[in-house]
């Protein structure tokens, strides 16, 4: 199905990417080209085929129910986590005001 | 003394162990090559001090008799692996200046094995690309030139193009790569080196900037098959921090290397004989078949009937996963923030992501967002996941009649920078032979097999059964021994 520029803007908004009118015009052609090409998958008979969710058989492991079981991925690392944030404030991620 | 930068990983390891040279001498030699090769743009960040520091430790360990498996070997690290205290960007503006406070599992394993780091290698932005032309830090230039006297700058392949160029130009003896749809194998083929993508789950993905999580897999790139085996042994292994990590012992691949293929069956997929392909690629493939027969293998024709659907399947699944993985880059938690005057939170997200992502990354996020959106999810994404199951079944059926599969790595030799950038689809088609094994999670490697009429390397690909890296490495070794590929890029940089 063909994508028009309004749809391109809608996708960009869902993807949280600002685009200009020129970019929307260029992407209209590119996305139509790529999506038109992938639509050939519609011709494959997939009757009775389950969608693949794991490429190599593996069982999901559950972590032990222990606080800070792993010192690297557990808690107590606020400064490390905030170290690369653009505007940390008072030990939190800072964002522009979201309430009036 | 011989030029230490011409030595392989095995030769450096063994020579250092024997006291033929010090690790510091090795590190200094490679540091000098790195510093003199700016024209290739293979590194985003150079870390000569880290290389020297590890070399000093290696020399003390030798004196103390406490050598590690890779003591004295300096390597390049693809800038997709988080390295504690050294910038990690995934070649994006979004992560420019991001200095992680943790170390990826794979890189930590290599440092624990005694390796030193020469620097962080350039790549396609967020590993999205097949030519290394999408990096925010500029194109990597292949050390190879065509022999037509035209001097055109060639692609080193992608996404691990900094890794492939650096190894081919002797800036490092080995490097890490990651492969989502061929990003280790295709650049290895383009630059006349070797590289292996192991079975999905062999190497931990913890601390690797995620592109498409059901496909991404780290692997080594090096000059020969033995070095790939050595590096992989020191990168692979169970990691409880990655839920997809395989809880299996790491085999001693180097010790079990053998190019005797008696009793082995090599499958030749008839669907890979593409119409209109460069006859030199088919000729190389036929030569590879003869080499494996010479090594004692029996050659059988196999069928992978869903091959033609692999690329479109990949270009739904990979962007879908990318759109989800890259949602984390929002201007709040990492790196870049673009906050227009008076903007609210939503505008900040949109402006940051518009500024921080390059065109190819945006294109893929947009495709991924579309195929996952309400109303299209089943038509695109679910359908692709079902076709992926069929592609995987094709391989399972083929491996009932053969042990490994032989195919070309890429449909052409390296192309010129800029030759394919105008048409995303023609760029995607470059991964036609590499993507099926990625979708099926299988181990696959590329080894250099020949030079084409333009004097450029061509690679052969070996695909193995899940968990059978040994079979892949052994067939690769058989080709390596017979192809006698010794060509290297003439130094111009």
Using DSSP, state whether B300 is helix, strand or coil: strand
Test A93 with B441 for CB contact under 8 angstroms.
Answer: no
Which among A4, A17, A33, A69 is the top mutation candidate for probing chain B, defined by the most B β-carbons within 10 Å of its own β-carbon? A17
Q: What is the pLDDT of residues B252-301, one digit of tens each?
A: 999 999 999 999 999 999 999 988 888 999 999 999 999 999 999 999 99
Q: How confident is the model at residue B1 (pLDDT cuts 50, 70, 90)?
A: low
Give B-chain residues touching A81 at CB under 8 angstroms: 101
Report if residue A28 sits inside a domain: yes
Contact indicator for A2, B370 with CB cutoff of 8 Å: no
Test A84 with B98 for CB contact under 8 angstroms.
Answer: yes
CA distance B94 to A74: 26
Which member of A15, A49, A70 has the closest CB to residue B369?
Answer: A15
Report if residue B43 sits inside a domain: yes
Predicted pLDDT of residue B73: 98
Q: What is the largest CA-CA distance in chain B?
A: 72
Q: What is the pLDDT of residues B317-355, one digit of tens each?
A: 999 999 999 999 999 998 899 999 988 999 999 999 999
Nearest CA in chain A to B101: A80
Q: What is the pLDDT of residues B368-380, one digit of tens each?
A: 999 999 899 999 9
Number of structural domains (chain A) is 1
Four-CA torsion A17, A19, A23, A24, nearest 10 degrees: 90
Contact with chain B for residue A27, Cβ under 8 A: yes
Counted residue by residue, chain B has a size of 493
Report if residue B315 sits inside a domain: no
Report if residue A92 sits inside a domain: no
Report if residue B217 sits inside a domain: yes
CATH number, residue A26: 1.10.20
| pLDDT surpassing 60 at residue B432 | yes
| pLDDT surpassing 70 at residue A1 | no
Question: Would you tell me which residues 76-95 of chain A have a C-beta closer than 8 angstroms to some C-beta of chain B?
Answer: 77, 80-81, 83-87, 93-95
Closest to B145 in 3D by CA, of B493, B489, B474, B399: B489
Report if residue B20 sits inside a domain: yes
Count of CA atoms in the C-beta half-sphere (13 A) of A47: 1
Q: HEC states along B305-351?
A: CCHHHHHHHHHHHHHHHHHHHHHHCCCCCCCCCCCCCCCCHHHHHHH
Structure tokens, B77: 């690290």
Per the listing, tokens 């009118």 go with: A21
The set of residues, in sequence order, having a beta carbon less than 8 Å from that of A65 and lying 6+ positions away, is none
Which among A96, A98, A99, A100 is the top mutation candidate for probing chain B, defined by the most B β-carbons within 10 Å of its own β-carbon? A96
Which among A38, A71, A89 is the top mutation candidate for probing chain B, defined by the most B β-carbons within 10 Å of its own β-carbon? A38
Domain extent, residue B135, equals 4-262
Report if residue A29 sits inside a domain: yes
Closest to B118 in 3D by CA, of B170, B189, B186: B170
Give B-chain residues touching A14 at CB under 8 angstroms: 369, 373
CA distance B438 to A37: 20
Number of structural domains (chain B) is 1
Report if residue A21 sits inside a domain: yes
Task: Supply the residues of B annotated as catalytic.
Answer: 78, 159, 183
DSSP state string for B149-186: S----B---SSTHHHHHHHHTTS-SEEEEEESSSTTHH
Report if residue A30 sits inside a domain: yes
Nearest CA in chain A to B426: A34
Question: Would you tell me which residues 23-42 of chain B have a C-beta closer than 8 angstroms to some C-beta of chain A?
Answer: none
Question: Would you tell me which residues 276-305 of chain B have a C-beta closer than 8 angstroms to some C-beta of chain A?
Answer: none
Give A-chain residues touching B425 at CB under 8 angstroms: 33-34, 37
Report if residue B478 sits inside a domain: no
Contact with chain A for residue B330, Cβ under 8 A: yes
Predicted pLDDT of residue A58: 80
Q: Residues B53-74: what's their mean pLDDT?
A: 97
CATH number, residue B20: 3.90.1300.10
Sign of CA dihedral B326, B332, B337, B340: positive
Report if residue A20 sits inside a domain: yes
Domain extent, residue A14, equals 5-41
A11 CA: distance to closest CA in chain B (Å): 6
Q: How confident is the model at residue B422 (pLDDT cuts 50, 70, 90)?
A: confident
Interface confidence: ipTM more than 0.90: yes
Which secondary-structure segment (H or E) carries B428?
Answer: helix B424-428
Structure tokens, B370: 């579309």
Test A56 with B466 for CB contact under 8 angstroms.
Answer: yes
* Burial grade of B279 (CB within 10 A; 0-12, 13-18, 19 or more): exposed
Report if residue A66 sits inside a domain: no
A67 CA: distance to closest CA in chain B (Å): 15
- The average confidence (pLDDT) of chain B is 96
Structure tokens, B246: 């395989």
Q: What spatial distance separates the first Cα and last Cα of chain B, rounded to whole Å? A: 23
Q: Quick count: other Cβ atoms within 10 Å of Cβ B324?
A: 16
DSSP secondary structure code for residue A86 in this structure? S
Report if residue A23 sits inside a domain: yes
Test A56 with B101 for CB contact under 8 angstroms.
Answer: no
Q: What is the largest CA-CA distance in chain A?
A: 57
Test A44 with B390 for CB contact under 8 angstroms.
Answer: yes
Q: Is the pTM of this model over 0.95?
A: yes
Predicted pLDDT of residue B423: 79
């Amino acid at each position: 199905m063909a994508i028009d520029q309004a749809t391109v803007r809608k996708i960009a908004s869902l993807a949280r990417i600002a685009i200009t009118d020129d970019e929307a015009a260029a992407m209209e052609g590119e996305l139509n080209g790529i999506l038109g090409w992938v639509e050939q998958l519609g011709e494959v008979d997939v009757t009775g085929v389950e969608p693949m969710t794991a490429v190599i058989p593996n069982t999901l492991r559950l972590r032990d129910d222990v606080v800070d079981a792993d010192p690297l991925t557990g808690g107590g690392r606020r400064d490390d986590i905030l170290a690369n944030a653009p505007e940390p404030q008072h030990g939190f991620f800072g964002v522009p005001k979201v309430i009036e | 003394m011989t030029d230490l930068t011409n030595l392989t990983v095995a030769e450096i390891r063994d020579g250092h162990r024997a006291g033929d040279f010090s690790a510091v001498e090795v590190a200094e030699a490679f540091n000098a090559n790195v510093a003199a090769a700016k024209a290739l743009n293979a590194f985003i960040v150079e870390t000569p001090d880290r290389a020297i520091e590890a070399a000093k430790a290696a020399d003390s360990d030798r004196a103390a008799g406490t050598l590690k498996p890779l003591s004295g070997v300096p390597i390049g690290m693809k800038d997709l692996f988080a390295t504690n205290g050294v910038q990690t960007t995934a070649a994006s503006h979004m992560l420019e200046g991001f200095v992680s406070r943790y170390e990826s599992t794979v890189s930590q394993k290599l440092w624990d094995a005694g390796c030193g780091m020469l620097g962080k290698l350039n790549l396609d932005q967020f590993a999205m690309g097949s030519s290394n032309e999408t990096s925010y830090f500029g194109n990597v230039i292949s050390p190879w030139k065509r022999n037509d006297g035209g001097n055109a700058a060639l692609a080193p392949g992608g996404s691990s193009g900094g890794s492939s160029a650096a190894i081919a130009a002797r800036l490092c003896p080995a490097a890490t790569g990651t492969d989502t749809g061929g990003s280790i194998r295709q650049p290895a083929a383009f630059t006349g080196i070797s590289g292996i993508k192991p079975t999905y789950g062999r190497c931990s993905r913890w601390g690797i900037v995620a592109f498409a999580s059901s496909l991404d897999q780290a692997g080594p790139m090096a000059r020969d098959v033995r070095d790939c085996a050595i590096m992989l042994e020191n990168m692979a292994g169970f990691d409880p921090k990655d839920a997809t990590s395989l809880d299996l012992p790491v085999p001693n691949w180097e010790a079990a290397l053998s190019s005797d293929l008696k009793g082995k069956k090599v499958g030749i997929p008839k669907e890979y004989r593409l119409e209109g392909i460069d006859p030199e690629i088919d000729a190389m493939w036929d030569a590879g078949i003869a080499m494996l027969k010479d090594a004692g293998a029996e050659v059988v024709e196999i069928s992978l009937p869903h091959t033609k659907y692999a690329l479109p399947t990949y270009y739904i699944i990979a962007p879908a996963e990318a759109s989800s993985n890259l949602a984390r880059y929002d201007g709040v938690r990492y790196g870049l923030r673009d906050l227009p005057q008076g903007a609210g939170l939503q505008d900040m997200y949109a402006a940051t992501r518009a500024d921080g992502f390059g065109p190819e990354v945006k294109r893929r996020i947009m495709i991924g967002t579309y195929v996952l959106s309400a109303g299209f999810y089943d038509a695109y994404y679910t359908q692709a996941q079902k076709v992926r199951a069929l592609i995987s079944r094709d391989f399972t059926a083929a491996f009932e009649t053969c042990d490994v599969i032989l195919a070309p790595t890429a449909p052409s030799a390296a192309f010129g920078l800029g030759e394919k950038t105008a048409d995303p689809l023609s760029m995607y088609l470059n991964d036609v032979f590499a993507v099926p094994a990625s979708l099926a999670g299988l181990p696959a490697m590329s080894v250099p097999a020949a030079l084409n009429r333009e004097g450029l390397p061509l690679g052969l690909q070996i695909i193995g059964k899940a968990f059978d890296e040994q079979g892949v490495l052994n067939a690769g070794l058989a080709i390596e021994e017979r192809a006698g590929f010794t060509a290297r890029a003439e130094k111009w940089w």
